[in-house]
Amino acid sequence: MSLFASEEERRERFPIAKHWIFLGHAGVTALPACVADAMIAHVRASCENHQEFGEVLGDIGKTRATCARLIGADKSEIALLGPTSLGLSLFANGLTWHEGDELICYGDDYPANVYPWMALAPRGVKIRFLRPAEPGRITPELVAAALTPRTKLVALASCHYLTGWRIDVSAIGALLHERGILFSVDAIQTLGAFPLDVAQVDFLSADAHKWMLGPMAIGIVYVAKRNFAICRPTLLGAWNVHSPQFITQEAIAFPDTAQRYEPGVLNIAGVYGMQAGLEMLQATGLDRVSAAILDTSDSLRQFLEEMEFEFLSPAISEPMRCGIVTARHPRVEAQALFSALETNRIAASLRTTRDGGKWLRFSPHFYNTRAEMDVVAKVLRAEIS
């Protein structure tokens, strides 16, 4: 399914498509033209004017509102920070922990959503790791079975970075809130690709450089306003502490918005880039984006099934699948297939599991096409024949 009037339009809006079949959006995206243009325009303005020209503050507010709409939050609950690990670390370090508190996470999640929580162990926090039957498949039932009266927080990714299993954020959030347990979500592998509502989420962090089609080191950090009092800012500066006329005050006072988590100068070029990417996705319609991603990734999986590939990612029949297709061939090393793809200007990812296994990870976005998947299949067939 195409969301473009022509192939020419697709390639103009996504210049990478002129040169590559880019299937690496679960890694670091190639920037759309609108994102690059927005960042270039700001950088140009910053050398023809000074970097603090008047409209910047207004544009920061506009981006907070855009991010808030994406996740169903209020703009006062949005901090503009990246990378994802920065937000997760702010949550982990900003909460008050007591000896014997328990925290649940998934040990084989992406390390950025494991290490900030593991680092709480010296404070007496017990870290309990989920053990799903299939890598990355975290269900509400699995989470419910792991809870104890001492569970203070559950920290999960909205989608597993390697296998592509999404979680039911609303269902897990609801069961946790019924028990008074906090819920932190690393949303980098779904924001921009699938709808996500934070009504049942306490904390969320996601950098823009994957499915949001934005630059690196800028993202969305969400803290529900009800949690401002319990998640204290741990990075302090003149931007998030009341400092009239840049004069240090006798007492530390924070804004009554999520700006309290932004200690100083923001990545303004990144803010403009993220804003442009999100405006494009929201104008396209996130439901249409999701449908296009699944249509393309499902077609690729069908080709791979015909070639007898093995999979870590969910089957096409699974409603909690995403745009990640992770596979390997039983007879040909993944490294060799990855090299063949690179030679043919097809960008995928080569990933390793804990047991040392090598896998190809494909992650197309909404602008990728079935015709491109035909090319990928042709290259792989030639290598395994």
Digit-coded pLDDT (tens) for 301-356: 999 999 999 999 999 999 999 999 999 999 999 999 999 999 999 999 999 999 99
In a domain, 126, yes or no: yes
Average pLDDT, the chain: 97
Residue 212 included in any domain: yes
Indicate whether 1 pLDDT > 70: no
Angle among Cα 322, 176, 152 to the nearest 5 degrees reads: 115
Please report whether residue 2 resides in a domain.
no
- Are 114 and 211 found together in one domain? yes
Question: What is the distance between the alpha carbons of residues 308 and 126, in angstroms, rounded to a whole number?
Answer: 43
Same-domain pairing of 48 and 138: yes
- Of 265, 283, 301, the domain-final residue: 283
46 and 90 co-located in one domain: yes
User: In this structure, what CATH number is given to the domain that contains residue 266?
Assistant: 3.40.640.10
| Domain shared by 243 and 350, yes or no | no
Does residue 120 share a domain with residue 253? yes
Q: What is the DSSP letter of 24?
A: B
Please say whether the beta carbons of 332 and 383 come within 8 A: yes
Report the pLDDT averaged over residues 109-123. 98
Question: Are 268 and 306 contained in the same domain?
Answer: no
Q: 55: which residues sit within 8 A by CB, 6+ positions away?
A: none
Asked if residue 1 is part of any domain, the answer here is: no
Give the strands of the sheet with 126-129, arranged side by side: 78-80, 219-223, 203-207, 182-186, 151-157, 102-105, 126-129
Same domain, 89 and 212: yes
125 occurs within a structural domain: yes
Q: Can you tell me whether residue 161 is helix, strand or coil? A: coil
Average pLDDT over residues 267-292: 98
| 183 within domain boundaries | yes
- Taking the CA atoms of the chain, what radius of gyration do you get in angstroms? 22
What confidence tens digit (pLDDT) does each residue in 130-189 have? 999 999 999 999 999 999 999 999 999 999 999 999 999 999 999 999 999 999 999 999
Q: What are phi and psi of 308, to 5 degrees?
A: 70, 35
Q: Of the candidates 283, 310, 341, which is a domain's last residue?
A: 283
Do 250 and 311 have their domain in common?
Answer: no
Q: Is residue 254 part of a domain?
A: yes
Q: Which of 283, 313, 330 is the last residue of a domain?
A: 283
Please tell me the least confidently modeled range out of 38-42, 45-49, 198-202, 341-345: 45-49
Average pLDDT over residues 102-116: 98
Torsion sign (Cα): 159, 163, 164, 166: negative
* 153 within a domain of the structure (yes/no): yes
Domain of residue 14: give its range. 7-28+285-384
pLDDT at 53: 67
| 166 and 270 housed in the same domain | yes
- Where b means 16+ CB within 10 Å and e means fewer, 300-326 reads bbebbeeeebebbbbeeeeeebbbbbb
Q: Are 205 and 87 in contact (CB under 8 A)?
A: yes
SS3 track for the chain:
CCCCCCHHHHHHHCHHHHCCEECECCCCCCCCHHHHHHHHHHHHHHHHCCCCCCHHHHHHHHHHHHHHHHHCCCHHHEEECCCHHHHHHHHHHHCCCCCCCEEEECCCCCHHHCHHHHCCHHHCCEEEECCCCCCCCCCHHHHHHHCCCCEEEEEEECECCCCCCECCHHHHHHHHHHCCCEEEEECCCCCCCCCCCHHHCCEEEEECCCCCCCCCCCEEEEECHHHCCCCCCCCCCCCCCCCHHHCCCCCCCCCCCHHHHCCCCCCHHHHHHHHHHHHHHHHHCHHHHHHHHHHHHHHHHHHHHHCCCEECCCCCCCCCCCCCEEEECCCCCHHHHHHHHHHCCEECEEEECCCCCEEEEEECCCCCCHHHHHHHHHHHHHHHC
CB 143 within 8 A of CB 128: no
Question: Which among 168, 165, 148 has a CA at the least distance from the CA of 110?
Answer: 165
Q: Is pLDDT of 52 > 90?
A: no
How many structural domains compose the chain?
2
Asked if residue 290 and residue 269 are part of one domain, the reply reads: no
Instruction: Encode pLDDT of 66-101 as tens digits.
Output: 999 999 999 999 999 999 999 999 999 999 999 999
What is the model's pTM?
A: 0.97
- Residues 278 and 289 both lie in one domain: no
Do 221 and 87 meet the contact criterion of CB atoms below 8 Å apart?
Answer: yes
CATH number at residue 310: 3.90.1150.10
Here the tokens at position 348 are: 């995928």
* 50 pLDDT tier (thresholds 50, 70, 90): confident
Distance CA 169, CA 140 (A): 9
Query: How high is the pLDDT of residue 49?
Result: 84
- Claim to verify: residue 204 and residue 299 sit in the same structural domain: no
